[in-house]
């Protein structure tokens, strides 16, 4: 999976049972965007972005992590590194700078012991910070519209070369969501300029065409990145996405390859295999999430259906 300079990819623990510790530890890399990038003071286009695949480093990391052995009738055999395990766009020195990679993973007590408890607890108890937004609507080539929510006053409070972080919420999500606002405030406390990319119909953005957004459509994100880069040509541009937003972001990175204008990206809770993710939504307790997302989509369609 290719990405510019640095991409922290959160992998499913289903990949290989004995890699579950590594899958969790790899998610710690997502914290990288919460502190200023080590490249923030450098030019945006230093060195080719995707020419440094750390295969030797990755294989070494894989071998050290997959230290457990599987037993069968013939005795012990070492597990081979998983074929999808790859770190792209980062250099050995950068990875070595993250101390969390060398520490064992420890889940948050009680609440992180169960994914459903953690999700529901956050949904009902997480605060909604007050943020004043300044909305900017972009018209797309097919006459569609997306909404960019900038933090009001940042144009005057931050220097012109401050790093810019584009946030891509999950399905039907937007700048009104608690997880988006908490990430926004954390980034702003580090001196970052933040903008929330609200897809068509999300966060009360208008739906002006019969074409909605999807995981396979990266045209709107491409236009948003180009627009932000035009507005702040002296800044390094970064992006972070959750769930469907992460899926769209990673697809965009793969399509752009070495032409990508982003200086870095983070993918969180990405449903890489959408077919399997859809099947899981119809199993057991996951049906609750399925109905919640379906209701959110119906609300968007019902609000805009009269236009068509």
In a domain, 2, yes or no: no
Q: How many distinct structural domains can be found in the chain?
A: 1
Residue 12: the pLDDT is 35
In a domain, 97, yes or no: yes
Residue 280: exposed, middle, or buried by beta-carbon count in 10 A (0-12, 13-18, 19+)?
A: middle
Residue 78: the pLDDT is 44
188/164 Cα distance (integer angstroms) = 10
Compute and round to an integer the Cα radius of gyration of the chain. 20
In a domain, 150, yes or no: yes
Written as tens digits, the pLDDT of the chain (308 aa) is: 333 333 433 333 333 333 333 334 444 444 444 444 443 443 343 333 433 333 333 333 333 333 333 444 444 444 444 444 444 445 555 666 667 767 776 766 665 567 788 778 777 888 888 999 999 999 999 999 999 999 999 988 999 999 999 999 999 999 999 999 999 999 999 999 999 999 999 999 888 888 888 888 999 999 999 999 999 999 999 999 999 999 999 999 999 988 999 999 999 989 989 889 888 888 888 888 889 888 988 888 888 776 65
In a domain, 54, yes or no: no
Residue 91: the pLDDT is 52
In a domain, 108, yes or no: yes
Residue 112: the pLDDT is 58
Structural domain span for residue 174: 92-307
In a domain, 252, yes or no: yes
In a domain, 164, yes or no: yes
Q: Evaluate whether 237 touches 263 at the Cβ level (below 8 Å).
A: yes
Q: What is the pTM of this model?
A: 0.67
State the Cα torsion 88-91-97-99 to the nearest 10°: 40
Extended strands (E) in 101-192: 133-139, 145-151, 164-168
Residue 93: the pLDDT is 58
Phi, psi of 23, rounded to the nearest 5 degrees: -60, -40
Residue 185: the pLDDT is 94
Residue 111: the pLDDT is 57
The CATH number given to whatever domain includes residue 123 is 3.40.50
In a domain, 118, yes or no: yes
């Amino acid at each position: 999976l290719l990405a510019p300079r640095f991409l922290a990819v959160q992998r499913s623990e289903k990949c290989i049972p004995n890699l579950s510790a590594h899958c969790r530890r790899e998610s710690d890399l997502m914290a990288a965007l919460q502190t200023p990038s080590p490249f923030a003071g450098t030019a945006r286009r230093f060195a080719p972005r995707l020419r440094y695949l750390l295969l030797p480093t990755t294989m070494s990391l894989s071998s050290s992590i997959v230290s457990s052995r599987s037993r069968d009738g013939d005795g012990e055999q070492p597990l081979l590194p998983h074929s999808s395990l790859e770190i792209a766009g980062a250099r050995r020195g950068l990875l070595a700078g993250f101390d969390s990679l060398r520490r064992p993973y420890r889940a948050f007590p009680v609440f992180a012991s169960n994914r459903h408890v953690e999700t529901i607890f956050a949904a009902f108890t997480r605060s909604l910070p007050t943020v004043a937004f300044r909305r900017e609507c972009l018209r797309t080539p097919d006459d569609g519209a997306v909404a960019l929510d900038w933090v009001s006053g940042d144009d005057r409070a931050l220097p012109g070369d401050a790093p810019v972080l584009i946030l891509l919420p999950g399905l039907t999500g937007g700048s009104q969501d608690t997880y988006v606002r908490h990430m926004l405030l954390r980034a702003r406390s580090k001196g970052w300029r933040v903008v929330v990319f609200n897809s068509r119909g999300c966060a009360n953005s208008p739906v002006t065409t019969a074409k909605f957004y999807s995981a396979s459509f990266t045209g709107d994100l491409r236009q948003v990145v180009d627009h932000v880069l035009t507005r702040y040509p002296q800044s390094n541009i970064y992006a972070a996405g959750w769930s469907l937003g992460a899926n769209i972001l990673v697809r965009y990175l793969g399509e752009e390859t070495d032409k990508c204008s982003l200086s870095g990206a983070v993918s969180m809770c990405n449903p890489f295999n959408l077919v399997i993710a859809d099947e899981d939504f119809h199993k057991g307790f996951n049906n609750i999430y399925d109905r919640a997302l379906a209701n959110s989509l119906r609300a968007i369609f019902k609000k805009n259906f009269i236009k068509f």
